[in-house]
Amino acid sequence: MAHKNRSNWSPYTARRKGQKASGDPAASGSKPGSSPAKPGAEKPQYSQDGRRHKKPVETYSFHEADDRIYDVFRNHEFGSYPHAKRQELTKFYQLLMANQNEQNFTRLLNLRDVAIKHFIDSLLVPNLVDLQFPLLDMGTGPGFPGIPLKIHFPQEEIILAEGVQRRVEFLKHVRQEMNLKHLKIIGRNVNVEFFYPVRGVITRAVEDASNTLGNVINGLQTGGEVVLMKGPNCGPEIQPALDKWGEYFELSKDIAYEIPKTPHERRLLVFKKLKPAPLPDFEELDLQWEKEFGAGVD
């Protein structure tokens, strides 16, 4: 049974009548009997994509963050990870959290979650497969797994491809602040017209495996591999991908694993490119572009 409004006060009526008197509930934005707003309370903020903008709850100093990341690494079988490289990850964590105050790039704000689900998750991959370079991180977002892999392989060439401009600017900022060498950033989505030559592709995106193979087929060199970081239930994607692209790709590895000492299950699908694919029909692509975006696009 609904409770009656015994005060006969309505925020809608109050707004219509323009009640602004001192002590009037409409003036404070609160209903009668409600608790006053906490000091510093703000309305929820939303990012450019319309999602709730979550800000970091705590910001740690560099040394405290580094100590905490070390504890997480040690508790999840990464205690032997090199000290200098872990400190580089700490710098990246601080840049990511500082940026999160203005943007909405990650839903993981707790340091422990970042260390496990971003850092360890990314760094487990080279323990399971031999990555090939130049390595393209397709749809890297704010830099996963590409930035942790760049820190892990400082002398190897890694390319970060990202289609959202504000993320691209953040990645450039990270590259400059951390003085990361042999790191290229391409501000565009990867599709069939992507011809930048690479020996390896890695992605943690949720895109279907068949779509990913089609998008990288012209950039990936023959003999190169596509490493898909997937969840445990990706099995239904495999056969449709092979049915469509089996002439050009084979499934060379299918590895199920867990992030150590967590319940988080993962699966790596590795597809090896067998031979070059025919070049796309650029005239047809131009027609598709014109149909989608209109004539006269520069």
In 101-164, alpha helices (H): 111-113, 121-123, 125-128, 146-152
What's the rounded Cα separation, in Å, for the pair 53 and 74? 31
Give every residue of the chain whose pLDDT is below 50, as ranges: 1-17, 19-49, 293, 295-298
What's the rounded Cα separation, in Å, for the pair 106 and 49? 13
Query: Of 169, 171, 186, 168, nearest to 201 (Cα)?
Result: 186
Query: Of 279, 124, 272, nearest to 200 (Cα)?
Result: 272
Do β-strands 249-258 and 265-273 pair in parallel, antiparallel, or remain unpaired? antiparallel
What's the rounded Cα separation, in Å, for the pair 85 and 70? 11
Q: What is the pLDDT of residue 297?
A: 37
SS3 content of the chain, % helix, strand, coil (to 5): 40, 15, 45
Do β-strands 183-186 and 198-203 pair in parallel, antiparallel, or remain unpaired? unpaired
What's the rounded Cα separation, in Å, for the pair 238 and 210? 8
Which residues, other chains included, contact 130 with Cβ-Cβ below 8 Å and sequence gap of 6+? none
Q: What is the pLDDT of residue 279?
A: 82
Q: Is the peptide bond before 134 cis (omega within 30 degrees of 0)?
A: yes
